[in-house]
Amino acid sequence: MNIRFLSSAAAVALMTTTASAEYTLHVIHINDLHSRIEPINRFDSTCSAEDNAEGKCFGGVARVATKINDLREELAGQNVIVLDAGDQYQGSLMYTTYKGDVEAEMMEKIGFDAMAVGNHEFDDGPEGLAKLADGVSFPVISGNLDLSSSNVLNGKVENHVVLEVGGERIGIVSALATDTVETSSPGANVIFQDEIESLSADVATLEAEGVDKIIALTHVGLPKDIAIAEAVEGLDAVVGGHSHTLFSNTEEGAEAYPRMVGDTPVVQAYAYSKYVGHLVLTFDDAGNVTSATGDTILLDASVQEDPEIVARVAELAGPIEEMKTRVVAETAEPIEGDRSVCRAMECPMGNLVADAMLDRVRDQGVTIAFQNGGGLRASIDAGEVTMGEVLTVLPFQNTLSTFQISGQGLIDALENGVSQVEDGAGRFPQVAGMRFVWDDEGEPGNRIRTVEVMDGDQWVQIDREQVYSVVTNNYVRNGGDGYSMFSTDGMNAYDYGPDLADVTAEYLAKVGPYTPYTDGRITQE
């Protein structure tokens, strides 16, 4: 349990406030930073030093630190907590190189009160999450994880935490998406429980202890957060992550901040260090929320970078600078790789990566390539392409995997790929050597309408009985993102090909200057 005490002067101020039978809590929050330790460009990739100097960049932990510290100063003497809704890990060379050490160091410098476990905290297995939990002084929580069988994690992650803020106890409960077993690598000894059932039980436990102000800090995505707000009695707010949803009261097309689900406010703050959220909750004397206001704050060039953190980040970046800045290719136009596109439809980045995979192994008789949209993590801007940019798009160190599977197995794989589009799931299939039509109004498992494969220079209907040779990445081939059919039904698998990022960089160099494109290989009815 993390107990946070205010100064005596702040306590006196609180006593004056509570005479009016109201209590105001400021919740400062981030989510899905994804190792964007350095500033990012408009494509959410690492920004060049030149662009940063010209004020064209956003975020980075030095700006996150400045904004959170500024808010603390502005709210001095008031009731403030700082929360992270998960996924500090994975997404840049800082994580690829240092495997979580940098993220933990920066979180300590910023100072959080609690963090929810994100699915990518398991990308290097339970050991990766254990390193984070051991490396920070604040609690890392997730209430729907049974870790009693894990000798690596047992005792390191709590179900919930109670923070004392201005003489009031604030309960923080948490849950992680149960499909983490498909999207990351928690291992067999991490047992997941239903998110809503687990949160309901933890809220009941806190209420039995007399805690009447309870916030859910979740990593489940907006649709599930809405379901949680509807179903879990006793929650005063949901502060979420996972779906990278932009909430804003000023940006067109964003969710309103907060989104009210009945009487429960739900918020997120996009991703990649670009925004900090500030939720203001006012409670009556009975612990009921009477007002929920606030907004996300864009961390653009107007937010000064913390100089101490800038210096430390530069020191950490030194050993990887040559790799980051090495020019490997050129592209004539920006290559669209935004998650909102690549997890829902054919996207230029998906075509690039699938084409690159197929090109590498075509001489082995492979005719079809499969890439999960969730494995594409950024766009690339026009002009010179550096290896750092390629690794930001493909940060997972996946290798090429080849295998054989029946046409029916490929249809089953496509059905899996389009089964959770409405949730923004990463399983959406980007393909090469294949084209398909799907219907988003069909029930999951019955959305694929037609599938064709290339036979010589002709498109032909897929043969359910025929065996096809396929290339994908080793994560998908081993069942990741719900592609269990590749693991169970795949034949003659080889998972140890070259790194996918290297394959993509070499393909870009081979065919460049590259012109991104879509050609209708994925069509929605």
Domains of the chain: 8-17+24-315 (3.60.21.10), 327-524 (3.90.780.10)
Q: Tell me the C-alpha to C-alpha distance, in Å, between residue 7 and each of 30, 89, 283, 340.
A: 25, 34, 22, 45
Write out 54-89 in H/E/C secondary structure.
CCCCECCHHHHHHHHHHHHHHCCCCEEEEEECCCCC
Q: Is pLDDT at 285 greater than 90 in this prediction?
A: yes
Res 21: pLDDT = 65
34-63 average pLDDT score: 91
Is the pLDDT reported for residue 3 higher than 80?
no
DSSP 355: H
- pLDDT, one tens digit per residue, over 75-132 is 999 999 999 999 999 988 899 899 999 999 999 999 999 999 999 999 999 999 999 9
pLDDT per position as a tens digit, 421-435: 999 999 999 999 999
Banded model confidence at residue 280, pLDDT cuts 50, 70, 90? very high
Q: Which two tokens stand for residue 503?
A: 């394959």
Instruction: Point out the least confidently predicted range of 42-46, 218-222, 259-263, 478-482.
Output: 42-46
Please report the pLDDT score of residue 327 as a whole number.
Answer: 95
As a residue count, the chain comes to: 525
| The pTM of the whole model exceeds 0.85 | no
Give dist(CA 142, CA 282) in Å, integer: 26
Q: At residue 288, does pLDDT exceed 60?
A: yes
Is the pLDDT confidence value at 355 over 60? yes
d(CA 309, CA 163): 27
DSSP per-residue string spanning 312-331: HHHHHHGGGHHHHH-EEEEE
Give residue 46's pLDDT band: very low, low, confident or very high (50, 70, 90).
Answer: confident
Number of CB atoms found within 10 A of residue 202's CB:
24
CA angle 1, 219, 500 (to 5 degrees): 125
pLDDT at site 5: 34
Candidates 503, 510, 522; CA nearest to 366 is 503
**Would you say residue 38 has pLDDT above 60?**
yes
pLDDT over 90 at 18, yes or no: no
pLDDT digits (tens, 9 = 90+) for 478-488: 999 999 999 99
Tokens for 230? 């509807």
Give 47's pLDDT tier (boundaries 50, 70, 90).
Answer: confident
